[in-house]
A = this chain, B = another copy of it.
Amino acid sequence: MKRINVEKCASILKEKDNILILTHAHPDGDTLGCGFALCRALLKAGKKARVICADEIPKKYDYLFCDISIPDFEEEYIVAVDVATEKLLGSLEKQYAGRVDLCIDHHPSNTGYADNLLLIADAAAAAETVFKVIKAMRIKVDKHIAECLFTGITTDTGCFRFASTTSNTYRAAAELIDLGAENAKINRIMFEQKPKSLAALERLAIEGMEFFCDERICLITLTQDMYEKSGSSEEETEAIPALTRQIEGVEIGLTIREKTDGTSKCSIRTYDSVDASKLAKNFGGGGHKQAAACEFKCDYKEAKKILLDKCRETLESGETVEEDVWE
């Protein structure tokens, strides 16, 4: 693995053609925004490129799709965007593990699985870095590319709210708006509007909130039964974990989801005092300092016990957050 900078990344991409872009499973706005922005930029530069994802892309991201028809081609160069580990490729891992030529990412936890790695860890979103790469390639950022990149930035910062948001993030947003990104439209689609089924699920989630450790831990459990009652589904629950952090005094917010196969998955949200990615790492997961996730083979009741024990231990140890780059 070789660490490269923006200029080197741009010059490599300029030389390549027939480029396959991999996004991570359970896709979010950043991986998709990066993927479709880079794809369109490469197409505009006269190259062949396409984006793939292991999972279905939620309907709300429809506007990211490129209107340029994408020709068939056999991939010659493989790029992963916003993908910290090969495991996050989901069902694509089998086919592409060990074959990724270039990775553009912002997770300090990136495992260095690609031949070339462009990692800017203080970027709030990988899209900030893809923006720099496209500019370094001297490809004109059109409205479509600007909207893809704005989507990546706004979703990965919770609409410019998270601690990861820097003045550079705001500046990139300003530039993208001037390049045509309709910020209000995108923020509305990503953050404001929710189907009634999700509103119903949120209501059940809030009703069932539990508090532990002098209310320093807030826990939401999402069961299959709750999805059924609300007419909602797991795909819709992206915004639920944020609810756990909202209550004054809460330092760790946990959202445990019961999966259809009886196993469980947990989203962890924290404030400055606790490192979410460290917590998740205990269970083979990962993420950022204030937002991370991990999976459990056991059911949600068992997962809840295991997690709460570790969270209690963390709060009692009084361990503070430090820069923690995984190997």
Contacts and interface: CB of A to CB of B under 8 A. Distances in A.
A326 interface: no
A12 interface: no
Interface residues of A, number: 38
A161 B174 contact: no
Contacts of A213: none
Contacts of A224: none
Contact of A199 (B159, B163, B246): B246
Given A199-B206, A247-B199, A170 B177 contact: yes
Q: Give the number of copies in the complex.
A: 2
A193 B246 contact: yes
A201 to B, nearest CB: 12
A166 interface: yes
A184 B165 contact: yes
A192 interface: yes
A102 B238 CA distance: 47
A203 interface: yes
B248 A196 contact: yes
A192 B246 contact: yes
B159 A161 contact: yes
A187 B161 contact: yes
Interface of A: 159-168, 170-171, 173-175, 177-178, 183-184, 187-188, 191-196, 199, 202-203, 206-207, 215, 245-248, 271
